[in-house]
Structure 1
């Protein structure tokens, strides 16, 4: 069949009809030969010697008509017809019964009840049989012709829709400010949009070997081509950064390439849509920011290191003055010395935190791992911290012993940071509860206060450098939790916080540490 195009109409001409298959079923071979000789020019005659053999043919092929002998051993014609009509694929195939019995009413009614469309008595007149069969063959061929016409029409409509979709894709792609490419299912690029032609100075179709062309920076070609081949072979999305040459000034600019597969109704990849977004300005800004951050970190590390010496000297001078003039000092100078001593300690703590953060960032925060009992360490820490605030009651719930392996000095630093925060963010006093226990090969520590709490949207912020849930009004640089997280993670553990941000309910910090440190 062919299409005649040139307008909205089309014409289908039969060029070569497929032969209609006719299934003849009879247990007598001479009868089958007679039927084949009589009907051979009307279609392909397929012979079956029994009902069982006829059913096997129907499993493999479709037929225009079935001529079925009524009286056969095994499955007779009526039972065979019943089974044929029960199967969805064959239920609408016309059946003509062949019988040598008289045309009594009960016999005829039973045949029609099983789905027969006609009866032919043996011996039959060849012209009458050919006439009956030719009607059903012609109907079958017409139906097949209609099916082919419908299929061709659907295909033409689908092709028209695909052409329209492709045209719309190109219009949409040309309207976008970023480079857009289309690729075939096997990954061959077909064309690029207007942004691509303006960038490269090349035609829209000059993209087939883009990834290995001089338009892509020589240092990026291998990696981007390998990433593209991997995406095409696996069907996974493509995302990679690379540099493209801008023809207007011969400068390479960074682009972010992304690609997703298009899939048809069967879920198979029918093509790819690729985009390349210019991120050169963003990339340069990120690099500049990274350099500035590195310079800032270097300055903080250097400044912190340089501040330790004068702070140590100031601390020593205050201690010497207190020892030398202690008995002679009046209340005013004594309070001044004590205040100076506290401020030097505070400055020393801030400098120490800055140094620890610098070591964390550079991977130089070292641990001195040993076996120790955590319970005495917690008791000593609580006694020391309790002396700093009479308004807060520190409560420790712990077993008699809890041996573990780790850096006791760093673990004490974490405990000090958590308890100090609990005190700082409970300005009206109240209890601070510590509980420690062993659980499934881990040490579990919980520090709970009843202060102002942490807003839920700030819970993720508090472990970042200089992150503070309530700003600077409660003091500190926002480094203690960052350092604590780094120490815990270096021990192979984790730390997190829980709070509803409701004043009076406070916050709860959880720490999990392996009993045997990962560094052991």
Structure 2
């Protein structure tokens, strides 16, 4: 909510302050009063004013002296000043006032229409400056966001080029070998490698399409009432080749009782398989991955822990952002486009669930938890 504009009224006589307040009062305007120059300076330290109306003839610090103090202070030097005076309007007096920083004089007795008209001018100017400041800040924020998006786009294109170039090189090499090979065993090995490479490329494309569908609201869940015991093995099987290739130990703990879920089975496999697959990729060979499923009220908690490389604290808030991908001193870099966890987060939320990073530390591994609602 926008803070209301403020005027500062300074006069040593309470009745004069009451009269000024009555003339200037309106919605959206706050009037602060001070009965001395010292009190006025104190108020200026804590507030921003659109206009200051100063009585010239005050005991102690008079209006001219107060104006000079205001102009000497960075916080108050830009406040417009109108002097209110019952004294003579001779040229010398006015010159001193303008020299002290005044923009105008109003003679007592005050003509209400003139006072309001002049006050309106400075109020409008103040509100316009405030609006310009807000727009400037918004433009700066937008510019920073566009620059970040441009950097993200360039990073994504570089990663995409890398991720497509490598499998294309494998496929090209495979075709060259097949053209010359005559040994059936060698041909079978090359074909298996090419199938795996094509599967990797297909996964990249599928992830991109899923992200696009979710952002456009075009993805539809095909929910089924399924037992956890029927879908969890399929999700773990997705990461099976990565776990086996790295020699990891996988332990799975699930409830003894039947837990029913209302989920899209393909998307459930995608959610859990992606996190377990990440654990396999970011854990040095011979590591350990633990999957624990437990019911907590009307939610199913699936906790995936590893003893891998972990995530630095400064990166943990970014891991669910699009195209974010960890890169470690150990030389372990995740394959893919860095959209896996972002996709998992969105798929979990479509199911009415969520995913969070429970803990992570470099060299100690990571623990993620997926929460999904249990079927009634």
Answer whether TM exceeds 0.5 for this pair. yes
In structure 2, the residue matched to 1:160 is 37
**Matching residue within 123, 126, 136 for 1:208:** 123
Structure 1: runs of 5+ lacking an equivalent: 1-156, 183-193, 195-202, 217-240, 243-253, 257-276
Superposed, which structure 2 residues align to 1:57-96 within 5 Å? none
**Matching residue within 249, 262, 273 for 1:393:** 249
Q: Which has the higher contact order (CA 8 A, sep 6+)?
A: 2
- Residue 362 to residue 442, structure 1, CA distance change in 2 (3 Å): same
- Residue 481 to residue 330, structure 1, CA distance change in 2 (3 Å): same
Secondary structure class of the residue paired with 1:376: helix
In structure 2, the residue matched to 1:172 is 74
In structure 2, the residue matched to 1:512 is 371
- Residue 293 to residue 442, structure 1, CA distance change in 2 (3 Å): same
Superposed, which structure 2 residues align to 1:282-293 within 5 Å? 282=140, 285=143
1: CA distance between counterparts of 2:303 and 2:280?
Answer: 15
Aligned residues: 265
1: CA distance between counterparts of 2:370 and 2:297?
Answer: 14
Q: Quick check: which one's helix share is greater? A: 2
Note the C-alpha offset of 1:384: 4.7
Task: Name which one, 1 or 2, has greater alpha-carbon Rg.
Answer: 1
Note the C-alpha offset of 1:329: 4.4
Q: TM-score, normalised by structure 1?
A: 0.43
Q: TM-score, normalised by structure 2?
A: 0.58
- Residue 367 to residue 329, structure 1, CA distance change in 2 (3 Å): farther
Note the C-alpha offset of 1:158: 5.9
Matching of residue 423 in structure 1 with residue 280 in structure 2: yes
**Matching residue within 259, 274, 278 for 2:136:** 278
Contact 2:326 2:334 survives alignment (8 Å): no
**Matching residue within 484, 490, 493 for 2:350:** 490
In structure 2, the residue matched to 1:45 is none
- Residue 516 to residue 428, structure 1, CA distance change in 2 (3 Å): same
2: CA distance between counterparts of 1:417 and 1:433?
Answer: 14
Instruction: Give per-residue Cα distances to partners, 1:387-426, cap 9 Å, x unaligned.
Output: 4432012221112421111211111101110110110011
In structure 1, the residue matched to 2:222 is 368
Instruction: Give per-residue Cα distances to partners, 1:14-56, cap 9 Å, x unaligned.
Output: xxxxxxxxxxxxxxxxxxxxxxxxxxxxxxxxxxxxxxxxxxx
In structure 2, the residue matched to 1:358 is 212
Superposed, which structure 2 residues align to 1:298-377 within 5 Å? 329-377=183-231
2: CA distance between counterparts of 1:478 and 1:174?
Answer: 51
Secondary structure class of the residue paired with 1:481: helix
Q: Cα RMSD over matched residues? A: 4.2
2: CA distance between counterparts of 1:290 and 1:468?
Answer: 16
Contact 1:386 1:393 survives alignment (8 Å): no
- Residue 173 to residue 278, structure 1, CA distance change in 2 (3 Å): farther
Note the C-alpha offset of 1:335: 2.5
In structure 2, the residue matched to 1:225 is none
Instruction: Give per-residue Cα distances to partners, 1:92-129, cap 9 Å, x unaligned.
Output: xxxxxxxxxxxxxxxxxxxxxxxxxxxxxxxxxxxxxx
1: CA distance between counterparts of 2:242 and 2:316?
Answer: 27
Secondary structure class of the residue paired with 1:372: strand
Structure 2: runs of 5+ lacking an equivalent: 1-33, 45-65, 82-100, 102-117
- Residue 163 to residue 388, structure 1, CA distance change in 2 (3 Å): closer
2: CA distance between counterparts of 1:181 and 1:344?
Answer: 72
Superposed, which structure 2 residues align to 1:443-462 within 5 Å? 443-462=300-319
2: CA distance between counterparts of 1:510 and 1:280?
Answer: 36
- Residue 344 to residue 169, structure 1, CA distance change in 2 (3 Å): farther
- Residue 493 to residue 280, structure 1, CA distance change in 2 (3 Å): closer
Note the C-alpha offset of 1:289: 5.2
Superposed, which structure 2 residues align to 1:1-150 within 5 Å? none
Note the C-alpha offset of 1:344: 1.2
2: CA distance between counterparts of 1:283 and 1:204?
Answer: 33
